[in-house]
Amino acid sequence: MWVTNSLAAEDWTAIREIGVQWDAALVVTTHRATPQSSPSADTFSIYSVSLTNHSVTALLKGTDLRLLDWLELALGRPRELAALYSNCANCNTSTFLTAFYYDIRQHGWSMRWMHGNEAVRIGAQKVADDVSISQVYAVLADTNGHEMVATWNHFDYGKTKPAEDYLYEYDVDPWNGLDRTLVISGKDADALKRRLCQATDAIAGLMAGQDSEQCAPYATVRTRKPTTTPPPNARGRSVPPGYRPKPK
């Protein structure tokens, strides 16, 4: 009832989920244009609702919301709820990844890596008519448990100009809890491509693109095969260094 009363002025058809941490609720609502409309055309809105003063903060609007797993983006800090969403239903759809967390400074819920209504872009149907894009992403875990989002976007311009690669890592600064985005280049970029494509340390269900053409050169670990054939002058005998035969 507290959440329903707080959202009375907002535009929604149903309350889908409510999650509470301390003095704030993370609320997901859905909106359906008419009772006869297809559920696939539903839009969602997410709010942070104060449980002390009824204040409401709108966080996100979109379609096809998928709440995933809790990520440890910064060691020593609470885990954060990962989610995928799309920007629209019947358009040039893009898919984004974000994480919800309780911001103790604001006494409410917030989101990671946001620029307007867009977070980490992990999928796009179309960029431009003469440009094709291939994308690989994964949530990777270090040996100490720290997790991060890594992306590799490959832009192919055809004959117009050479292809370009853009690699990023997204995590949380462990000292101040703020979002952190790193541009990866040089030798580090090649290492990240291999790590993304092999995905041996990726979180299950939080990766895509590993079977793409751009991952083919990195997907398999190449090891030197041992030599099993003897050299041509081998006689089946060996003499250890310093060996002297005993006199008979």
What is the structure's pLDDT at 158?
87
User: Taking a C-beta distance cutoff of 8 angstroms, is the pair 31, 44 a contact?
Assistant: yes
Q: What's the pLDDT score for residue 222?
A: 47
State residue 91's pLDDT score.
78
CB of 200 within 8 A of CB of 191?
no
CB-based contact 148:73 (threshold 8 Å): yes
Parallel/antiparallel/unpaired status of strands 147-156 and 164-172: antiparallel
Q: What is this structure's pTM? A: 0.84
**Structure confidence at residue 170 (pLDDT):** 98
> For the chain, which ranges sit under pLDDT 70?
125-127, 220-248
Q: How far is CA 109 from CA 23, 59, 209, in A?
A: 10, 8, 31
Q: Can you give the pLDDT at residue 248? A: 57
Residue 29 near residue 7 (C-beta atoms within 8 A): yes
Q: Which helix (H) or strand (E) holds 18?
A: strand 14-21
Confidence at residue 219, expressed as pLDDT on a 0 to 100 scale? 74
pLDDT of residue 229: 61
| Burial category of 246 from C-beta neighbours within 10 Å (exposed 0-12, middle 13-18, buried 19 and up) | exposed
Distance CA 231, CA 237 (A): 12
Contact criterion met (CB below 8 Å) for 130 and 45 = no
